[in-house]
Structure 1
Amino acid sequence: MKPNQLLLIVLLLCGFSQSPERKITGIVTDRNQTPLPGVTISVKGFKLGTTTDRLGRYQISIPVTASKLVFSFVGYLSKEVSFAFDNILNVTLTEDYKALQEVVVVGYGTHHKRFASAPMSISNHSMNAPVYSNNQYQNTENYKSVNENIFQLTCQQAVTTFSVDVDRASYSNVRRFLNSGQMPPEDAVRIEEMINYFDYDYPQPKNEHPVSVTTELSDSPWNRQLKLLRIVLQAKTISTAGLPASNLVFLVDVSGSMMDFNKLPLLKNAFKLLVDQLRPQDKVSIVVYAGAAGLVLEPTSGNEKAKIREALDNLSAGGSTAGGAGIELAYKIARENFLPKGNNRVILATDGDFNVGVSSEGALERLIEEKRKDGVYLSIAGFGMGNYKDSHIETLADKGNGNYAYIDNIQEARKVFVSEFGGTLFTVAKDVKLQIEFNPAKMKAYRLIGYENRALKNEEFHDDKKDAGEMGSGHTVTAIYEIVPANVESRYLTKTDELKYQKTAPSENAKSNELLTLKIRYKNPESDKSILFQTVVSDMAKPMNSTSDNFRFAASVAEFGLLLRKSEFKGTAGYDHVISLAQSATGKDQEGYRSEFISLVKAAKLINEGSETAKR
């Protein structure tokens, strides 16, 4: 073969190996030209995909050999669209009412009739996105059991204590299910995480404490004669310039289960958004784990963004999942590069499917409890579907002095790692606990909505050794209590005998207009001693239409959560009422999250109506 012929062949082979890409953008709408958020776009013949944002927009990079995109969304006919040389592709989807009527409920999720020929086994606390093998429904997603809080009689239990929770993973996970045409598993619905997903505009703390308190009282929208109390903690916001230097370790799951486009490929792009926020004084290391764990990037300055990005690009998935070994190594690297006055944090990105070495929830919990003693925080970003292990990830997040987000698309990655950069990574108050003493003269009973996994014993409020939740820069935490006033009878209250030996006469304070006393304990990030402050809340209820947008919107999210959980306390709650209440409280909504919520409620209503029709 002549030298010039050999050179031509080499050049041709190199050209093919580079797999050049092109970028396609566009907007997806319905027949009324209304943008559709959450539409799934996949590249036919490739494991590539994305979803539309809140304005129906999408952007996807595809191989030049690809020729078709597939658009799918619950309640609409899927559509294959060919493209030639255009880089802008706008698509209109058509409603599919017949498909909704053919959806039947299976266990916690939904299932299409055409796959129902084989027997199915659904465990009590797990569910997965549609995965089929030989007509068999595969069920591998795991969620912790959530037993709803019940009403407590104030005369028998006037004091309640719980830890704050700033995790928001439940909402984006619920969104993933609804956007794929399924109702979420009931145990995947953690109402406090859904409420706390949204931004609420409250004044910054003005005194010596890093947290301020706001309360509001009105009527319960779904239980006539009952009241709804909203308690809000607002953490102070620290400007990026004022944030301490960071020692970050990216702990990345590269096992075989992370191959899908919404796992490792999305994970890489998400971490790149975080890398863009780093400063020269920040350092990043990258640890990966599959069958074993290894260090793929030594501590690198935040101004070497190209080097960090290249390390992320070089990651690939394969093998089993030695999560415990990865956690051990990540903490070791974090400790070796510890910044005494800095932000020391491991950021774990995984689908939670640990199956080698330390893998049980109990063992993982003990491992993280031991590691947090080194002063290294743990934040977790969950990815994927089908084998997602929420129960594992929630255990790690609760015990690791960090927070937990579920990232279902690049817009959510931007929210977590860009818009909420400070809150995600920088703690302003740790081990934050709330204790409330209710006035029996004003209320007969109370129920905390959500926070079931955050309950504390009353004596643990004073125990500084007891772990509790952390609040990051700018975080808002909302707790909602439903209250039975003293003069109201409720079907939720079962008959109990009066106490024989513990009757006490009401104090003078009980005769006042005080509804409750709220006590808050927290620790400064570098201290092991808690600080206490308290406030009194008066019995001053407003009509619902006089409450703030924040109150009404939070109430609408809580009502939606009760419907998704099929709560015994949902009263007259309904999808139409949730939509109406939320629409009255969208406020500025600059990022479109509240509008997206309304679209999700409408999707849930359609799915529910289809399921009810199928039952009949």
Structure 2
Amino acid sequence: MKYNLLFILSLFLCNSISAQTITGTVSNENSTPLPGVNILNKSTNSGTQTDFDGNYSIKAEKGDLLTFSYIGYKTKEIKVKDKKVINVSLEPDNVSLDEEVVAVSETIRIRGTSSLQTGYGYNNRTNKEAYKERNENIFKSVKTAPLSTFSIDVDRASYSNIRRMINNGQEIPKDAVKIEEMVNYFNYDYAGPKDEHPFAIHTEVAKSPWNHQTKLAKIALQGKNIPTEDIPASNLTFLLDVSGSMNSPNKLPLLKSSFKILVNQLREKDRVAIVVYAGAAGVVLESTQGSEKIKILEAINNLNAGGSTAGGEGIELAYKIAKENFIEGGNNRVILATDGDFNIGASSDSAMKELIEEKRESGVFLTALGFGMGNYKDSKLESLAQSGNGNHAYIDSMQESRRVLGTEFGGTLHTIAKDVKIQVEFNPAKIQAYRLIGYENRLLNAEDFNDDEKDAGELGSGHTVTALYELIPVGVESEYLKGIDSLKYTNTEIKNNSDELFTVKFRYKDPEGAKSKLITKTVQDTEKDFEEVSTDFKFVAAVALYGMKLTDSEFVKNHNTELILELAEKGRGNDKEGYRAEFIRLVKSTVQ
């Protein structure tokens, strides 16, 4: 027996010694690196993913079989030989699923058929993704419209969704491009608040980098960063779509892996319940203490997809469970994860919006997480998040899951200010016209600013919000200025020697408050060249200009890719996690 143990130990040591590190890059047929590719060593059942630049590293022995899989591409298997560097090129693939699937949980069984398209691209007849129509903001005359009012937007779904399309070689619908969500996807080096308010305000003004006749103004908010251990106890209800439309590798399997990341962030004082819906809705996990991670993870692991989609019924049940377990002074939230394809009961965007508006009065907030492609309903999820005092993210990979539900756990789930509105009053002695870049679906009427009944956006712990205005100074002749007749009853003669460019006002409520608070800041005029602005301002301008390129904006005559890359490189700064480098790679991959 002693010799047997020694023999087994020696074999183990030999195997350990023979294991080596295999590295390489995974790219597509155009030699573009692919981030988030799954690499599995089938011999040891260990795995990894490629990083932002398509690079990977994995332990393997000679003779081991490595599989490389990525949504929309053919899976490739490679046997490890003598080379320690294995570069892989994946080929596009179209796969059609038409099979019977079964969903099984502790309390409900649902049977249905799934027929959907997955793969590299989508035929126009099968691509049923839905986006809310967006009409680009135009220049407005300061004389006739001196106030610009809008709700903040911390959603970031548009950028990760666009990234998915670029990586899959798909055409990007113009309505899918929300410049404010692209800009706000990135973290910026803004200083936090030093007073009683939950956010700090930062502004910058300089000559526009893409139009020498205009100026560019940046208005930014930096939310207070609350350490995870100091976040109030959370009462979370996971509302998970297990319908047939979720039967795709980048839907339910990715959803399950994503929520495991969130579960690992839970503390003993947190609680989680799980509600699922397909043809019907049911509870698969009653409210459970965050320390019982094995029980929570087991409930998630048991989920499978099948059936139609009774999203309205699921929302009703999830809010009921959340209300039953409500924590006073805590973070009460429903986290909806779906492709947004509701088709039973209340399902239209307007019907779902009314349902959520009714439920938000309970004090329960909403986070909407989008998954998948081909039938992704961005318009519905955006509407739900806006109406439910919450946020919306699109999960295209485990990389994004780790960001939304891991490293940015606090900001995603803990609100520090709600109904945050911005109103800018421009000085007509300095500015002829202005246009807000993005935020088309967040515009408010001037009178909405002081109306505490008017819903607006929420700011999470550590979140940043950035808005850009393009300004046409007084005395500048511009083709974008549309002539209007002189006003008969309004004195438009300007007698103002102030050097103020504009005044910006903010209103917000505490998370459990009903009365708003006001902050005011004035911004002085400047003739600063764009070369002199901060690193962050340069990167913000690059992202905004890229968004305008993708939508063929009428306000940028030359959609200059070189200028986008120049601004992005100068704004790259201390890019610890590589997100800005990834943006540069995406821009280069869409050069036309």
* Common fold: TM-score over 0.5: yes
Secondary structure in 2 matching 1:511: coil
Aligned counterpart, 1:481: 469
Q: Does 1:191 align with 2:179?
A: yes
Structure 1 counterpart of 2:299, from 311, 319, 342: 311
Q: Does 1:91 align with 2:87?
A: yes
Structure 1 counterpart of 2:378, from 390, 403, 406: 390
CA distance in 2, matches of 1:72, 1:210: 41
Aligned counterpart, 2:513: 527
CA distance in 1, matches of 2:466, 2:261: 28
Paired amino acid for 1:54:
F
Aligned counterpart, 2:539: 553
TM-superposed deviation, 1:546: 1.1
* 1:442-468 Cα distance to aligned partner (Å, 9 max, x none): 011000000000000000101000000
TM-superposed deviation, 1:212: 1.2
**Correspondence list, 1:216-365, <5 A:** 216-365=204-353
Aligned counterpart, 2:411: 423
Aligned counterpart, 1:577: 563
The answer to whether the Cα contact below 8 Å between 2:48 and 2:57 also exists between their aligned partners in 1 is: yes
**Structure 2 CA distance for partners of 1:70 and 1:322, relative to 1, 3 Å:** same
Structure 2 counterpart of 1:472, from 444, 460, 464: 460
**Structure 2 CA distance for partners of 1:132 and 1:222, relative to 1, 3 Å:** closer
TM-superposed deviation, 1:286: 0.4
**Structure 2 CA distance for partners of 1:254 and 1:42, relative to 1, 3 Å:** farther
* 1:237-296 Cα distance to aligned partner (Å, 9 max, x none): 111121100000000000011111111111111111111111000000000000000000
The answer to whether the Cα contact below 8 Å between 2:395 and 2:401 also exists between their aligned partners in 1 is: yes
* 1:458-504 Cα distance to aligned partner (Å, 9 max, x none): 00101000000000001100000000011111111122212121124
Aligned counterpart, 1:82: 78
Q: Does 1:566 align with 2:552?
A: yes
Aligned counterpart, 2:577: 591
Q: Does 1:38 align with 2:35?
A: yes
CA distance in 1, matches of 2:375, 2:39: 20
Aligned counterpart, 1:204: 192
CA distance in 2, matches of 1:344, 1:462: 27
Alignment TM-score, normalising by the size of structure 2: 0.86
The answer to whether the Cα contact below 8 Å between 1:416 and 1:424 also exists between their aligned partners in 2 is: yes
* 1:528-553 Cα distance to aligned partner (Å, 9 max, x none): 00001101000024211111110000
The answer to whether the Cα contact below 8 Å between 1:346 and 1:378 also exists between their aligned partners in 2 is: yes
The answer to whether the Cα contact below 8 Å between 1:244 and 1:341 also exists between their aligned partners in 2 is: yes
Secondary structure in 2 matching 1:520: strand
TM-superposed deviation, 1:83: 2.6
Paired amino acid for 1:536:
T
The answer to whether the Cα contact below 8 Å between 1:128 and 1:387 also exists between their aligned partners in 2 is: no
- Greater shift, 466-475 or 490-499, is seen at 490-499
Paired amino acid for 1:581:
L
CA distance in 1, matches of 2:332, 2:82: 47
The answer to whether the Cα contact below 8 Å between 2:151 and 2:442 also exists between their aligned partners in 1 is: yes
**Structure 2 CA distance for partners of 1:396 and 1:225, relative to 1, 3 Å:** same
Q: Does 1:28 align with 2:14?
A: no
CA distance in 2, matches of 1:250, 1:57: 33
Q: Quote the RMSD (CA, aligned, Å).
A: 3.2
TM-superposed deviation, 1:153: 0.6
CA distance in 1, matches of 2:144, 2:555: 21
Paired residues in the alignment total 544
- Greater shift, 571-580 or 280-289, is seen at 571-580
CA distance in 1, matches of 2:253, 2:588: 30
CA distance in 2, matches of 1:25, 1:383: 31
The answer to whether the Cα contact below 8 Å between 2:149 and 2:444 also exists between their aligned partners in 1 is: yes
Q: Does 1:56 align with 2:54?
A: yes
Aligned counterpart, 2:14: none
The answer to whether the Cα contact below 8 Å between 1:247 and 1:284 also exists between their aligned partners in 2 is: yes
TM-superposed deviation, 1:390: 0.7
* 1:27-64 Cα distance to aligned partner (Å, 9 max, x none): 32569xx9924365599xxxxx9963214245899xxx
In structure 2, runs of 5+ residues without a counterpart are: 1-20, 41-46, 95-116
Q: Does 1:539 align with 2:499?
A: no
The answer to whether the Cα contact below 8 Å between 2:23 and 2:58 also exists between their aligned partners in 1 is: no
**Structure 2 CA distance for partners of 1:324 and 1:29, relative to 1, 3 Å:** closer
TM-superposed deviation, 1:69: 3.8
Paired amino acid for 2:486:
E
**Structure 2 CA distance for partners of 1:40 and 1:239, relative to 1, 3 Å:** closer
**Structure 2 CA distance for partners of 1:386 and 1:51, relative to 1, 3 Å:** farther
TM-superposed deviation, 1:506: 3.1
CA distance in 1, matches of 2:125, 2:23: 34
Secondary structure in 1 matching 2:590: helix
Paired amino acid for 1:459:
E
CA distance in 2, matches of 1:375, 1:356: 26
**Correspondence list, 1:124-203, <5 A:** 137-203=125-191
The answer to whether the Cα contact below 8 Å between 1:435 and 1:519 also exists between their aligned partners in 2 is: yes
The answer to whether the Cα contact below 8 Å between 1:346 and 1:377 also exists between their aligned partners in 2 is: yes
CA distance in 2, matches of 1:230, 1:581: 15
CA distance in 2, matches of 1:427, 1:159: 28
**Correspondence list, 1:385-534, <5 A:** 385-506=373-494, 510-534=496-520
* 1:155-189 Cα distance to aligned partner (Å, 9 max, x none): 11111110000000000000000001123110000
* 1:6-30 Cα distance to aligned partner (Å, 9 max, x none): xxxxxxxxxxxxxxxxxx9853256
Percent identity over the alignment is 54
Secondary structure in 2 matching 1:396: helix
TM-superposed deviation, 1:224: 2.1
* 1:491-527 Cα distance to aligned partner (Å, 9 max, x none): 11122212121124435xx311000111110000111
**Structure 2 CA distance for partners of 1:293 and 1:30, relative to 1, 3 Å:** closer
CA distance in 2, matches of 1:477, 1:204: 12
Secondary structure in 1 matching 2:468: strand
CA distance in 2, matches of 1:389, 1:138: 14
Alignment TM-score, normalising by the size of structure 1: 0.83
Aligned counterpart, 1:15: none
* 1:393-441 Cα distance to aligned partner (Å, 9 max, x none): 1110110101000000001000101111111000101000011100011
CA distance in 2, matches of 1:498, 1:129: 58
CA distance in 1, matches of 2:399, 2:292: 25
**Structure 2 CA distance for partners of 1:85 and 1:395, relative to 1, 3 Å:** farther
CA distance in 1, matches of 2:472, 2:590: 30
The answer to whether the Cα contact below 8 Å between 2:37 and 2:70 also exists between their aligned partners in 1 is: yes
The answer to whether the Cα contact below 8 Å between 2:418 and 2:510 also exists between their aligned partners in 1 is: yes
Secondary structure in 2 matching 1:568: coil
**Structure 2 CA distance for partners of 1:329 and 1:221, relative to 1, 3 Å:** same
**Structure 2 CA distance for partners of 1:242 and 1:40, relative to 1, 3 Å:** closer
TM-superposed deviation, 1:211: 1.4
